[in-house]
A and B are shown apart, each in its own frame.
Chain A
Amino acid sequence: MSKSNTILYLDGVSVSFDGFRAINNLSLVLDKGEMRAIIGPNGAGKTTMMDIVTGKTRPDEGEVFFDGQVDLTKHDEAEIAMMGIGRKFQKPTVFESHTIEENLMLALKGPRSIFPALFHRRSAAEARQIDDILGIIRLGDKRDQLAANLSHGQKQWLEIGMLLAQDPKLLLVDEPVAGMTDAETEETARLLKEIARDHSVIVVEHDMHFVRELGVKVTCLHEGSVLSEGTLDFVSADERVVEVYLGR
């Protein structure tokens, strides 16, 4: 396999926690501009895979490359974020004691050192960007409210908004519709498809309706490696996938 023209390239990646192999010889390739849905039962290693890509967890072995040439295992979280990989956590994680607007301001692309932050004044361009994102995530009328007061679904959207503010090349989105109503789920699928028009995206999700809505290539993980890969119809017809989902 060639790494050129890939945005993310994982080959033979393994990681163990106290002898337990959470990721086992995992290989996964994402092309530039592609959106991929990753499914798999609880404990399949989906979140751990994101931890590896974002520098939170070091793999025991294997290659992890970003943009065809950057070895991600040699960088830490902040560096990887600055290269252009953004991440939404499984449990929505926003800054609860800040307002929606402040959350976005902290995420907005720009210098990340202390002194510029100390003397930072919001520019008109930044204000416009924040307004745009607030429109996209539909929290415009709540901009001055504390993030703590948002509902679970709204926090998910705020976190996606923070990802947009960061303007990464690759977005890793972990279970974005957990705890959402059907209508919200649809909205989220629409939003992600919109984002995928000019970003590479990996979405982890259990919700099959949502995955169908996305209409992209699907990878099913199981026990830390790829079980099946292809269209949703192909994957859900795969006997091994059915077995994994229906019980052991």
Chain B
Amino acid sequence: MITGRFFAAGADRRIAITILILLAVAIIVPLLNLAVSPTSAFYVPSYIVALTGKYLCYALLALALDLVWGYCGILSLGHGAFFALGGYAMGMYLMRQIGARGVYGNPILPDFMVFLNYKELPWFWTGFDHFWFAAIMVLAVPGLLAFVFGWFAFRSRVTGVYLSIITQAMTYALLLAFFRNDMGFGGNNGLTDFKDILGFNVQADATRSALFAASALMLALAVFVTWAIVGSKYGKLLMAVRDAESRTRFLGWRAENVKLFAFTVSAVMAGIAGALYVPQVGIINPGEFEPSNSIEVVIWAAVGGRGTIVGPIIGALLVNAGKSWFTGVLPEFWLFALGGLFVAVTLLLPKGIVGMWDSWRGNAKALRAASLAEEAGTDPVVPPQQKIVRSAATKPGDWSSSSPEPQPAE
């Protein structure tokens, strides 16, 4: 009981620490980049700011996936699609900001449209010259797709590996669609050559730092929102659906709606991650819909610890740092390393890094409690007879076989 509460408090403390670290990083890293002389030992170079900003977006994506996978058992292999759609919505805004500064100097049409002989802006590009409109689309497009997809999938009770396969098919279909030039999203080159965001040069150090800070703040917000969702009665229900879906139905809950809400929220989070990612990397192309991207996200979450809030963040940061290092040293072996890592984690650390840490801490605590109890000359914490299922317990309210004390039933 007490340990249960203690760990609950420990988990809350962990969330608070994570949020504080993210807030601190959002302030300190830009300061160290902008206000410190490049010759100083504390200087953070701009490329590091951009790189870690990108990692934070990946971490947000991994957290989004874990909301549905870790907490509701929906193994989505298509979350990269929601990320990419958010990215495209932001990319369209950034394209419109180029204005007449493109190679062809057309004030309305982006370069690729001039090149492809478009006469006018396709209808679905209208509004993207306003940031507020693009921002709404960043949320609405992935959210709506997830809602419609989830509506059909969860209502027809598609679960398990079949659901994973259709999410994978979804992102693959989008990949093929966005590759086409006549879709109006720049074909296989995607959207790039961005100039400004909200009137600031996307390449400038200050803008990069601001985007980094925005990513860290957004991740902190997402941690808080996920924590609030998971801790609510709805969150308990989400896990209940994960563990015993039919039980929830026979209690009167609509499991499909439970899943649909989490899936939609998760897709919106993924879309935000994509929108923050695009200005930091300077390009969005159909490659982001690649099915393997979505699978990588699953690996990040698994490595860090599925079903935890901090785990997917740690997983995304570590695996991507490893990827950056590896692709510098032994680029041809990265995929093997990633595959090997996934196998190793699945076999050796089924609960990921955070899960392993927790159980290690749990054991250490139990040992310490036991040795303390021994010093005090009392019994160790767990009375041995409690392990035997139906002992002759005599405490009132215990599961008692020898002395069933009648209790008032109402």
Q: How many pairs, one residue from A and one from B, have CB atoms within 8 Å of each other in the complex?
A: 121
CB distance from B73 to the nearest CB of A (A): 11
Q: Which of B1, B234, B389, B409 has the most CB of A within 10 A?
A: B409
In B357-400, the 8 Å CB interface with A consists of 389-390, 395, 397-400
CB distance from A209 to the nearest CB of B (A): 16
Are B243 and A95 in touch, CB under 8 angstroms? yes
Are A138 and B398 in touch, CB under 8 angstroms? yes
Report chain B residues within 8 Å CB of A162: 251
Whether B332 sits at the interface, judged by CB under 8 Å, is no
Q: Which partner residue on chain A sits nearest B5 by CB separation? A: A144
CB 8 Å contact bits of B1-22 with A (1 = contact, 0 = none): 1001100000000000000000
Are B254 and A78 in touch, CB under 8 angstroms? yes
Whether A213 sits at the interface, judged by CB under 8 Å, is no
Q: Among the listed A81, A95, A183, which residue makes an inter-chain contact with B250, where contact means beta carbons less than 8 Å apart?
A: A81
Question: Given the known A-B contacts A98-B236, A99-B4, A145-B1, are A138 and B400 also in contact in the complex, defined by CB atoms under 8 Å?
Answer: yes
Whether B253 sits at the interface, judged by CB under 8 Å, is yes
Whether B239 sits at the interface, judged by CB under 8 Å, is yes
Q: Which partner residue on chain B sits nearest A93 by CB separation? A: B247
Report chain A residues within 8 Å CB of B117: none
Are A154 and B251 in touch, CB under 8 angstroms? no
In A38-97, the 8 Å CB interface with B consists of 54, 56, 76-78, 81-82, 86-87, 89, 93-97
- Give the secondary structure class of A's interface: helix
Q: How many of chain B's residues touch chain A, expressed as a range?
A: 35 or more
Are A183 and B402 in touch, CB under 8 angstroms? yes
Are A102 and B250 in touch, CB under 8 angstroms? no
Whether B229 sits at the interface, judged by CB under 8 Å, is yes
CB 8 Å contact bits of A111-136 with B (1 = contact, 0 = none): 01110011110000000000010011
Known: A94-B244, A96-B243, A166-B252. 15 other contacts (CB 8 A): A78-B254, A93-B244, A102-B236, A105-B233, A105-B236, A114-B258, A118-B232, A119-B232, A120-B232, A138-B397, A144-B1, A145-B1, A151-B390, A157-B399, A183-B400
A residues with CB within 8 A of B: 54, 56, 76-78, 81-82, 86-87, 89, 93-99, 102, 105-107, 112-114, 117-120, 132, 135-136, 138-141, 144-146, 151-154, 157, 162, 166, 181, 183-184, 186-187, 190-191, 194
21 CB-based A-B contacts, threshold 8 Å: A77-B250, A78-B252, A81-B250, A81-B252, A82-B252, A93-B244, A95-B236, A95-B244, A96-B244, A98-B239, A105-B236, A106-B240, A106-B248, A118-B233, A144-B1, A145-B1, A151-B390, A181-B390, A183-B400, A184-B390, A194-B410
